[in-house]
Amino acid sequence: MSRSKPHGDVHELAHRLAVLPEPAMRSAMLYEQLRARSPEEGAWILDVLATAGRAGGKPYDVSLLAAIELVGSDRLEYTERRALFEAAERLGLESCKELLFSSEVDEASEAAAAPRPLVPGTRPLTLGERKSLARTWKRDVIERLVVDPHVDVVGLLLRNPRLTEADVLRIATSRRASAAVLTLVLEARRWNCRPRVRRALIRNPNFPESSALRLVGLLNRTELREFRADPALPDRVRAAVRRRLTAPS
């Protein structure tokens, strides 16, 4: 099977995905397209989406996000994911393998749910109280809650219309943020399209390596060159960056 064989079909599929208005609709359509094909054909599709999507150009920027959402969801069952991964391994489709690569996302520690003060020296607030405050319009409260370690609090904050990109970058760059919290940032539609947020997530050592590998596919060549010189990145992520840089544009 030739590597160029599926490009025409995938280009048409990418256009069909891009015109859908909701991310959930795109990932659902992509899933149905993969189910209708053999694992080998599905692996080719994912590989082309991941490879073409690295430059961020339309329609592959949107379709790659659909692929990222799909492989990060429960919709793609373990047996289906494994079949696609094994097909990609047989065919040498590294971009597809990086997209599908999975590792356990660390759960936030039980201590994250323990009462904690909003301001040092004041009464510790329960998890329920902090969740309630996460819906606030008050900037000073939001700025204090962005360091909260609990995923429920962060999840509510990410949906708060008063949250700014600067707030999200504080979460994404925090070395205290758990993998689960950082994954919430990745899944937030309002923020996962922001280049600065993506770069911050990739650089955070607590961000799941599997997710970092997927985001590498969304970096442009300037960003790739910047990451190539970053010694703090995991070996697999640096290898993916180098592979993107040496691939024909």
Range of the domain at 71: 7-100
CA distances from 137 to 133, 154, 223 (A): 9, 15, 34
Same-domain pairing of 203 and 137? yes
Average pLDDT over residues 131-137: 93
How far is it, in rounded angstroms, from Cα 127 to Cα 114? 7
Whether 105 maps to a domain, the answer reads: no
Same-domain pairing of 82 and 14? yes
Residue 25 has pLDDT above 50, yes or no: yes
Same-domain pairing of 220 and 242? yes
- What amino acid is encoded at 198 in this protein? R
Same-domain pairing of 30 and 119? no
Average pLDDT over residues 141-156: 92
Same-domain pairing of 135 and 213? yes
Average pLDDT over residues 214-225: 88
Whether 236 maps to a domain, the answer reads: yes
Question: What's residue 165's pLDDT?
Answer: 97
Give 135's pLDDT tier (boundaries 50, 70, 90). Answer: very high
Strand partners, 178: none
Residue 69 has pLDDT above 90, yes or no: no
Same-domain pairing of 81 and 133? no
Question: What's residue 106's pLDDT?
Answer: 35
Residue 108 has pLDDT above 50, yes or no: no
Same-domain pairing of 85 and 197? no
Whether 193 maps to a domain, the answer reads: yes
Q: How many domains does the chain have?
A: 2
More confident residue, 148 or 50: 148
- Angle between helix 23-35 and 39-52 (nearest 10): 140
Average pLDDT over residues 191-204: 93
Average pLDDT, the chain: 85
Answer with the one of 100, 125, 141 that is the final residue of a domain. 100
Whether 26 maps to a domain, the answer reads: yes
pTM: 0.62
Give 6's pLDDT tier (boundaries 50, 70, 90). Answer: low
